Amino acid sequence: MRLTGPIGIGVRALLGAGITAVTLLASAYVITVFAAAVLIFVAMQLGPLEFTETGFLWALAIGAIPVLPCFAIVIAHAIRLERVELLEGTVPAAEIDANGGRTLEASATRLATQFDIATPEVRVRSDTTPLAYTTARPTDPVLAVRRRSSPVIVVSKGLVQTLSSAELEAVLAHECAHLANDDLQLISWLLVPLFAAEFLYEAHEDDEDSEDNEDKQWQLDPLGWTLTSLSLVGLGVFSRGRELAADRAAVEATGDPGALASALERLANRRHRRRRRPSTDLRHAQSTNAINIMPTLGEGGDLGGLRSTHPPLEVRLRELRSVAAA
């Protein structure tokens, strides 16, 4: 079963890619211009160079040109590093629980046949936070015209322990739908600025991880807040539509809208019972939150508005009810 997204999904993809590209290019250009300005200023102070105001501006513009090929290399490296982080600490499903692991693998194989995709490998994280997302291997091509390699579906122990077998299969179907719709490659690119922002600023987070300290951090760090917010806007424009499309496709594959609906409700209820942060220390929690089947950061982690990466639960449940009634 090959899924083709509606026109709206395509428009969202273009908008998301455009916002992300502008964010990345602007960030790279600002950094490059700043570095070039410092070098030119030092050279002028030492005497060998003299610039008029116009000449100085032209020198900055020309000095920023070499950033483009370097920029492409950095982006490719960032995507591979992103994949490494998403797979860190995971093991094949069968190594966690022989019987349960084989059940997950059998479900993934059956669903892959229905969706006409390569059978994904199922890997498990030890986190107690419920997680389910898809990613590629670090060695896979960053940009591929055809899907040649087997992708990876990652679930956590917390997810397996929280959901029933029917709900687990519905979640796996949701992730397979993302693969069938070719979401994985675009999402990898859209995650780059968010991942970069986390990588640059997570070192400044307080060990106590309190909400007050985090708010103070962003008040003192407008650059980090701006980069993260723009990243979430670009990702969310596409991600909110892709989640609804994957929900519908999962129901078509399993024929059981109730299983996915109950899984989403169960995960939402568990999220609301937790603090803002996950119960397990997740590295790059915001980017993991963005690609998980449900937000992982608790009620406060879903920022709402343009920065929301997931549709509201009520919207997803209403869509599932409409599919069931059709």
Residues 296, 255: Cα–Cα separation, whole Å: 27
pTM above 0.85, yes or no: no
pLDDT, residue 190, reads 82
Residue with tokens 């995507």: 79
pLDDT, residue 184, reads 84
CA dihedral (35, 36, 38, 39) in degrees, to 10, reads 120
Structure tokens at 211: 């909400």
pLDDT, residue 279, reads 47
CA dihedral (74, 75, 80, 86) in degrees, to 10, reads 120
List the chain pLDDT tens, one digit each, 326 residues.
444 455 666 666 677 777 777 776 776 667 666 666 676 666 666 766 666 667 666 766 676 677 667 767 777 888 888 889 889 889 998 887 666 678 899 999 999 999 999 999 999 999 888 999 999 888 887 766 555 567 899 999 999 999 999 999 999 999 999 998 888 878 887 888 777 777 766 544 444 444 444 444 444 456 667 777 777 888 888 888 889 999 999 999 999 999 999 999 999 888 766 555 544 445 567 788 888 998 876 444 455 677 788 899 999 999 998 887 77
State the burial class of residue 70 (Cβ atoms within 10 Å of its Cβ: 0-12, 13-18, 19+).
Answer: exposed
Residues 54, 73: Cα–Cα separation, whole Å: 31
Residue with tokens 């600490």: 89
Residue type, 183: D
Q: Which of 274, 323, 261 is CA-nearest to residue 302?
A: 274
Under a CB-based contact definition with an 8 Å cutoff, are residues 245 and 178 in contact?
A: no
pLDDT, residue 185, reads 78
pLDDT, residue 2, reads 40
pLDDT, residue 110, reads 95
Residues 302, 290: Cα–Cα separation, whole Å: 9
Under a CB-based contact definition with an 8 Å cutoff, are residues 20 and 190 in contact?
A: yes
Q: Which of 125, 133, 135 is CA-nearest to residue 156?
A: 125
